[in-house]
Amino acid sequence: MKKNLKIYSILFLLLLTAGVNAQNTTPLIQSKLDGTIVDDVTNQPIIGASVVIKGTTHGVQTDAEGKFYFQTGQKLPYTLIISYIGYKKTEVIVDKNPVTIGIKEERQELDELVVVGYGSQKRKDITGSVASVPKANLSQVTSSADNLLRGAIPGVVVTQSSGRPGASSSVRIRGGNSITAGNEPLYVLDGILIYNDNNNSTAGVANAGATVNVLSTINPSDIESIEVLKDASATAIYGSRGANGVVIITTKKGTKGQDNISYQGYFGFQNVSKKLHVMNASQWASLRNDVQASIGQAPSFSADQIEAFKTSGSYDWQDAIFRTAAPVQNHQLSFSGGDEKSRYAVSAGYFQQEGIVIASDFKRISLRANYERNYSQNFKFGVNTNYSNSVSNGIGTNGGSSAGRQPNPLVVALYQPPVVPIRNPDGSYNLTNNPYATAINGIVPNPINDLENTTNETKINRILASLFGEYKITKKLTAKVAVSGDILDTKQNYYAPSTTTTGAGTKGLGSVGDRLVSSVLNENTLNYNTNFGENHKFSALAGYTLQYTEGEVVNAGANTFVNDANTYNALQDGVPVKPYTDAFESVLKSWLARVNYSYKGKYNFTLSGRADGSSRFGSESLWGYFPSAGFSWNITDEEFANNIKGVTEAKLRVTAGTTGNQEIGNYLSLAQMGSVNYAFGGTLYTGLAPTRLANPDLKWEKTNQYNIGLDLSLLDRKINFVFDVYYKKTNDLLISVPIPLTSGYASVLQNIGGVENKGLEIGLITENIKTDNFSWNSNFVFSTNKNKVVAIGNGVDQFFPVVPNGSLLQQQPVTVKVGLPLGTFWGYKTNGIFQTQEEVNTQPKINSLANTKVGDRKYIDANGDGVITALDKGNLGTSQPKFVGSFSNTISYQDFDLNFSFQGAYGGKIFNALNQQLEISTLGTNANVTLEDRWTPTNPSNEIPRATSSPLGIVSERYVEDASFLRLKLITLGYTLPKSISTRLKAKSIKFYVSAENLITWTKYTGYDPEVSSYEQNNLYPGIDFGSYPNSKTFISGLNITF
């Protein structure tokens, strides 16, 4: 492999040096022309438009006043070709001097070229479901590109796992197909195929916590356009990686014309959008007394003490974890331009965000260079490169013996009894004075100290580079060869000093880890385009691609440090722990083909397919085949449709096809032996034991998808309507099926079961008002998806995924059950509180609570057998919303523009595990203020049970909350300086803006934020909120200048 790459690169260089010389012409000076280019509607001059005399190579740019000037050998009249980004290419015959030419702004029209897999097509000819992210969405403030998809396109649901800077998110295109394998779409960045696997941003350092979003290595300011391929006709060309949809990202390229320098920058601050209501000292002291009483112990606090706490001695731990006005800033400097033969775009960006939780932040430096050159008439080559360096400090997880109930320092802070001081009188952190927590080596955990003093750093360096050459063999046949590389290096540094929860037990705990993943992709395609007469248009694509990926992981650690001076950079100063290394490689070989045929532009047919061979699968099934077919009918091109009033364009699309999903990780078909230690005679020996059962039949998941769509433009394209319905059925699902523990294993990975998704999508882009000074455009997006598990296989119709957390493990809040959607919560319905002993004696109880007392919670005996058992649990709803929608508006008035967008989701649920834990009364942790209303003989609450010292965590409808929300996601007000002023400042344009994000959220959800997923991209237990990093309100002001 490596040897071949070397040969290849030599050949590629050879290829670049071959070719022919360019032509040069010198015109005779005979005629002069003075002209001005203006916007057809606003009459504003257009700066930097390209004006070319047709039939020659003579071209100029308009200046800051939109003026141009020709001295040319051509005689009037001649034809000018005027082009400018965002405007229609215009040809005008000029017969007088001077001249003013108006050009029209380009709208979403059917002639527009749309990027599709391995090429582009006219929107009119497309059969598949392909949508573009509106330009307005691309200018949002975000650390990561996937957030730009949020609310932009029907059928795409983006859920951020938390509000942490650089947090990962999950992106679902038309619902999740897979139960345990990856559900993220495939990203194609300038032709480089990337699966957004957030495991690549962790080197496995213990206690480091949530991963960094890998897509945050791409600077969103560099993005020119994003296209989303949704149906099988569009995605089958990506075969075994197409099932979850494909997101094609194109970065900014230079255009022929004047060189531009532009600066974009903003500065802002963020605050936590909401705080939880936990008890103050007085409330908690009285709760603890009640807990003590429930176990027959004397009260801990006197009535006087409880009263005194109202004025002093109450400490707000939640407040201490948040920063106020955490700054965020971004600076982007770019140069772009081009001439007859070359185009370039170069940019440098710097993004920095401090988290709203202390000690967390994210910083990124990114560089990009895109270059393309027409080497000759037949040969073109180019290069796109991207480098980014990001550094992120996370909040980590909480080490220690009871970590299960305390997933991170944020949650620990909420649990802190409010009578415990945060700091000592001398200002240092309180590490001793807490009688309610376990001291480790004399250190009592203090989460604020943990956050402040633990190093938990993830540094990611990524290089993405692609090189391509395109050669026109004949007028109709083009060959393209591309080679690209993706190197992703993640270094993690962790150090918990001996004063922290995690480091106290071991006198400091340091570890470092590095993960290097590199991928080389070669793509070779042939493109053939021809017309048979006027009516038959035919094009074909064929190709072979190969992607080779390898990864290496190292991880080392030490503890028992003499002091906390050297930390993770001198592990040799401590006592080493067992190191860890890992390596993996995978190969994906593919053949791909696509044929398009169009009759009179009315009827369009597309056939496409891909054959993929993947090393990830079992020896019995290495190759998979993924075909698709699509048909579209431009109804308005039919004669009978000519007279339908108001209908400008109408197009019907019908497609069907098969795609696959290979995202299961490497080597999983093999039986793995894992190493363990045991000691004989005081010496450690290695033992090897099987940790996984083999499955040689392991293969891709297969999704069959059917789509019917209608594109409708009304009233001269003032109303543009896109409507799609689809049905997807995924079979051969990879499921880690729980098997009886008596086998010695907890689960085995198999291709069994199926999932179904069906849905409806509506996109509506309207031009509401358009006058000379005022315009209002809006974009309405609506989608609904119904997800259902249709089979799990093995005769099983339900299983409970193991949630990797001590307190949720056995509660089994989530189930996978045939007939229900993924992410269904499973638990008891409640029925108030036992008010009398009579009720306790006669009504059904959770039979394990042998000593049910008055004041305990009642659960509903669903099966009527007189006792409450696991059989009485039932469906409490799913985390998947019934529908999601967004409504974005752009209003401009003279030099002002206002953007605002609402986003919302309806019908989804969240299991609020944090609140469940906060409503468990213990002797040592704080509680939700709702427990103020706890049952007592004098307060016969029917909602909150009595205080006890050992209640179990029980999944009930109380903690499965409605996650519906409507949010004013973004509001931006911009002002562009009048030309007259900006010209005086020697700038082409200057724009100021202010913006607010997450300004208002309407929701019933009681946790921090209804858009949450503590287990990140996991599809088995989405929608669990166990103290995720809260969301923030962000206010920024920014400046864009172009010179």
Partner 1 sequence: MKKIFITFILSAGLFVSCTDLEVAPTSFVTEDNYFKTQDDAVASVNAVYASLSLDPGEQSLFGRNLYFLTDMGSDYAAAGVSATNPQVRAMSSLTHDATNDRVQVAWRQIYAGINRANVSIDNIPKVTGTEAVKTRLINEAKFIRGLLYFQAVRIWGGVPIVLHEPTSIELENLKTKRASVEEVYTQIISDLKDAESLPATYPATDAGRATSGAAKAILAKVYLTRKDWPNAIAKSREVINGGYGYALFESFGDIFNKAKKNGKEHIFSVQFEKNQAGNGSSGSTFQSTAFTGFTATEPADIISDVALFYDIYAPEDTRRDVSYAKQLLNPATGTLYTFPKPIFKKYLDLTNLATPGNVAINFPLIRYADILLSLAEAINEQGAPTPEAYELINQVRRRAYGKDINTPDPTVDLVGLTQTSFRAAIQEERKKEFVQEGQRWFDLVRWGTLVTEVKKVTAKNSVSERNNLYPIPQSERSINPDGLPQNPGY
162-221 positions binding partner 1, by CB under 8 A:
206
- 469 contacts partner 1 (rule: CB under 8 A): yes
Taking the least distance from each CB to partner 1, the nearer of 352 and 662 is 662
DSSP per residue, 925-954: S--BGGGGG--BTTB--SSSPPP-S-PPP-
Kindly state whether residue 298 participates in binding partner 1, applying the rule CB under 8 A: no
Phi, psi of 638 (to 5 degrees): -80, 150
Of 658, 637, 543, 570, nearest in space to 118 by CA: 543
Q: Please say which residue, 474 or 643, places its beta carbon nearer to partner 1.
A: 474
Alpha carbons 355 and 371: distance in angstroms, whole number: 36
CB of 417 to partner 1, least distance (A): 11
What Cα–Cα distance (Å) separates residue 395 from each residue in 55, 411, 881? Answer: 63, 11, 29
Cα–Cα distance between 331 and 932 in angstroms, integer?
Answer: 49
Q: Which residues in the 971-1030 window bind partner 1 by CB under 8 A? A: none
Interface with partner 1, residue 435, by CB under 8 A:
yes
Residue 21, interface with partner 1 (CB under 8 A)? no
Whether the CA torsion 401, 405, 411, 414 is positive or negative: it is negative
- In the 8-state DSSP scheme, what is residue 199? G
Decide: is 750 part of the binding site for partner 1 (CB under 8 A). Answer: yes
Q: Scan residues 526-555 and list those touching partner 1 (CB under 8 A).
A: 544, 546, 548
Cβ proximity of 366 and 222 under 8 Å: yes
Q: Give the C-alpha separation, 470 to 320, whole Å.
A: 59
How far are the Cα atoms of 190, 225, 250, 591 from residue 115, in angstroms, in the given order?
11, 9, 9, 20
- 383-412 residues in contact with partner 1 (CB under 8 A) are 401-402, 404-406
Q: Which of 686, 771, 938, 980 is close enough to bind partner 1 by CB under 8 A? A: 686
Q: Does 505 bind partner 1 (CB under 8 A)?
A: yes
Q: Say how far apart CA 792 and CA 267 lie, in whole Å.
A: 50
Which of 93, 303, 473, 1000 is close enough to bind partner 1 by CB under 8 A?
473
Closest alpha carbon to 894 in 135, 44, 106: 44
Q: Is 560 in the site for partner 1 (CB under 8 A)?
A: yes
Question: Is residue 765 a contact point for partner 1 (CB under 8 A)?
Answer: no
Residue 577 engages partner 1 in binding (rule: CB under 8 A): yes
Number of residues that bind partner 1 (CB under 8 A): 133
Selected binder of partner 1 within 303, 570, 715, 809 (CB under 8 A): 809
- Secondary structure (3-state) at 388: strand
Per rule CB under 8 A, is residue 567 in the interface with partner 1? no
Supply the minimum distance, in Å, between the C-beta of residue 370 and partner 1. 22
Which residue's CB is nearer to partner 1, number 1005 or number 1015? Answer: 1015
- Nearer to partner 1 among residue 300 and residue 1037 (C-beta): 300
* 621 touches partner 1 (CB under 8 A): no
Report how far residue 1020's alpha carbon sits from residue 181's, in angstroms, rounded to the nearest whole number. 10
What are the residues whose beta carbons fall under 8 Å from the beta carbon of 43, sequence distance 6 or more?
Answer: 102
Looking at 320, 923, 971, 994, which residue binds partner 1 (CB under 8 A)? 923
Q: Does 744 bind partner 1 (CB under 8 A)?
A: yes
Q: For 753, left (φ over 0), alpha (ψ -120 to 50), or beta?
A: left
Q: CA-CA distance, 208 to 497, in Å (whole number)? A: 14
Q: Is 4 in the site for partner 1 (CB under 8 A)?
A: yes
Of the two residues 282 and 695, which places its CB atom closer to partner 1 in the complex?
695
DSSP characters for 43-103? -PBPTT-EEEETTSS-EEE--TTSEEEEEESSPSSEEEEEE-TTB--EEEEE-SSSEEEEE
Q: Contact region for partner 1 (CB under 8 A) — 43-51, 132-140, 279-287, 682-690?
A: 682-690
Q: Looking only at Cα atoms, what is the longest distance across the chain?
A: 110
**Minimum gap (Å) between residue 743 Cβ and partner 1:** 5
> Binding of partner 1 at residue 966 (CB under 8 A)?
no
Shortest gap between Cβ of 251 and partner 1 (angstroms)?
25
Q: Please report, as residue ranges, which positions from 823 to 862 form the binding site for partner 1 (by CB under 8 A).
A: 846-851
Give the residue with the Cβ less far from partner 1, 31 or 949.
949
DSSP state of 746: S
474 touches partner 1 by CB under 8 A: no
Q: Is 98 in the site for partner 1 (CB under 8 A)?
A: no
Nearer to partner 1, 206 or 1041 (CB): 206
Q: Which of 102, 265, 601, 613 binds partner 1 (CB under 8 A)?
A: 613
Q: How far is the CB of 281 from partner 1 (least distance, A)?
A: 18
Q: How buried is residue 383: exposed, middle or buried, by Cβ count under 10 Å (0-12/13-18/19+)?
A: middle
Which two three-digit tokens encode residue 664?
């299961």
Instruction: Give 29 or 679: the residue with its C-beta nearer to partner 1.
Output: 679
CB of 665 to partner 1, least distance (A): 12
673 binds partner 1 (CB under 8 A): yes
Which positions from 33 through 92 interact with partner 1, judged by CB under 8 A? none
Instruction: Figure out which of the listed residues 601, 627, 907, 953 binds partner 1, where binding follows CB under 8 A.
Output: 953
Q: Is 644 in the site for partner 1 (CB under 8 A)?
A: no
562 binding partner 1? (CB under 8 A): no
Among 810, 836, 863, 936, binds partner 1 (CB under 8 A): 810
The span of 73-81, 631-639, 707-715, 732-740 binding partner 1 (CB under 8 A) equals 732-740
Q: Pick one of 98, 687, 819, 978: the residue that binds partner 1 (CB under 8 A).
A: 687
**Can you give the three-state secondary structure of 869-927, one letter per residue?**
CHHHCEEEEECCCCEEEEEEEEEEECCEEEEEEEEEEECCEEECHHHHHHCCCCCCCCC
Q: Give the Cα separation of 170 and 736 in Å (integer).
A: 20
CB 404 to partner 1: min, Å: 6
- Which listed residue (922, 972, 1019, 1028) binds partner 1 by CB under 8 A? 922
Nearer to partner 1, 128 or 445 (CB): 445
**Short-list 239, 220, 221, 242, CA closest to 231:** 242
- Strand segments, DSSP code E, in 285-378 are 326-338, 342-354, 361-374
- H/E stretch holding 5 reads helix 2-17
- Pick the closer one to partner 1 by CB: 217 or 917: 917
563 binds partner 1 per the rule CB under 8 A: no
Least Cβ distance, residue 466 to partner 1 (angstroms): 15
Nearest-CA neighbor of 211 among 513, 558, 486? 513
Identify the H or E element spanning 460: strand 455-472
For partner 1, give the closer residue by CB, 473 or 981: 473
Q: Which of 78, 284, 494, 800 binds partner 1 (CB under 8 A)?
A: 800
Q: CA 146 to CA 187: how far, in whole Å?
A: 10
For partner 1, the closer CB: 261 or 739: 739
